[in-house]
């Protein structure tokens, strides 16, 4: 399978790393030999129809910050969309930075690849939260695979789990903790009695919160994931503007202490059902499944046959998110081989 990776930040590098580490395993277990034929970042591209060396890609990026510095095959200044015309490939892995305003350039990358008959695997929430129905339609009309397990909850298996493991069930609603940064902040505040501002600063120093944490702490990131789940699991044609959103920036140490006294915790909960699309801080009972700590994500699927099924997993991390992308690459391979 010839793969193009667009975007070579933490997740793109994670994909290169897992493809390198799992090479023998993939060949032995699935008969799959993945070959990265092109990588694009802001600097340009590295393109080799014969395949690029994963370790050298990682080394080049770490040393120079530019994928276009890749020895012999580096191409400075190439626009990411044009990389798709430069080399023959089977699957696009789209992991450019998320844009929640217009979903670009990821949306254009995906549509172009699909219209050219290529399968697409992505972790990119922006285009899915804004244009899910359009992307799904383009994929269907071009008979290509469109996979996005990594866009919700990092390594936490939910979308494929809902479609495959719970295939015989009608899923009525989904609710849970869909953002690791806010869960970390609220967990620390509960455990240490610290203020929101103090805990956010600490999370930024540890690299858990972004320098600009707005999308996480104001609930936008979780809202994007609620939209993806609403569309892909519940068949609700929602976009980001349909979700009622409230973040955690107004939560005080006092309100958390008060909740604890009553045996409760405050968590940022996302909910998707035919009646509700919402992200907001809610009270949950201590000791309940929703009382997970740190950067863990959790989702409960309410079904007609299996009652409530809960999945938990790491919601972020380079290799963790890449593990979900790898599972999608494998499922594309199974369809194609």
- For residue 126, the SS3 value is helix
Q: Cα dist. 331→135, 160, 313 in Å?
A: 19, 10, 20
**Residue 225 a catalytic site member:** yes
Q: 112, 118, 225, 267: which one is catalytic?
A: 225
Task: Tell me the catalytic residues.
Answer: 225
């Amino acid at each position: 399978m010839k793969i193009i990776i667009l975007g070579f930040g933490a997740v793109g590098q994670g994909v290169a790393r897992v493809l390198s580490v799992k090479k023998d395993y993939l060949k032995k277990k699935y008969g799959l030999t993945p070959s990265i034929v092109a990588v694009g970042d802001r600097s340009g591209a590295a393109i080799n129809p014969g395949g690029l060396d994963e370790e050298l890609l990682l080394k080049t990026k770490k040393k120079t910050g530019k994928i276009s510095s890749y020895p012999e095959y580096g191409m400075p200044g190439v626009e990411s969309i044009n990389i798709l015309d430069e080399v023959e490939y089977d699957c696009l892995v789209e992991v450019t930075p998320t844009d929640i305003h217009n979903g670009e350039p990821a949306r254009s990358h995906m549509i172009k690849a699909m219209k050219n008959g290529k399968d697409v695997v992505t972790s990119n929430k922006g285009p899915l939260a804004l244009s899910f129905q359009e992307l799904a339609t383009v994929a269907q009309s071009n008979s290509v695979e469109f996979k996005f397990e990594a866009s919700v909850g990092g390594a936490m298996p939910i979308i494929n789990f809902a479609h495959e493991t719970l295939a015989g069930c009608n899923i009525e609603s989904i609710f849970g903790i869909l953002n690791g940064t806010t869960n970390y902040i609220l967990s620390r505040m509960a455990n240490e009695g610290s203020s929101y501002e103090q805990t956010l600063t600490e999370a930024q120093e540890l690299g858990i919160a972004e320098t600009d944490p707005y999308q996480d702490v104001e609930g936008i990131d979780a809202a994007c994931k609620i939209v993806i789940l609403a569309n892909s699991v519940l068949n609700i044609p929602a976009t980001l503007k349909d979700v009622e959103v409230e973040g955690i920036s107004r939560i005080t140490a006092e309100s958390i202490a008060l909740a604890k006294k009553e045996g409760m915790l405050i968590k940022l909960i996302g909910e998707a059902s035919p009646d509700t699309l919402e992200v907001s801080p809610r009270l949950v009972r201590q000791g309940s499944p929703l009382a997970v700590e740190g950067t863990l994500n959790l989702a409960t699927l309410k079904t007609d046959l299996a009652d409530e099924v809960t999945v938990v997993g790491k919601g972020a991390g380079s290799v963790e998110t890449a593990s979900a992308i790898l599972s999608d690459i494998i499922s594309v391979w199974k369809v194609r081989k």
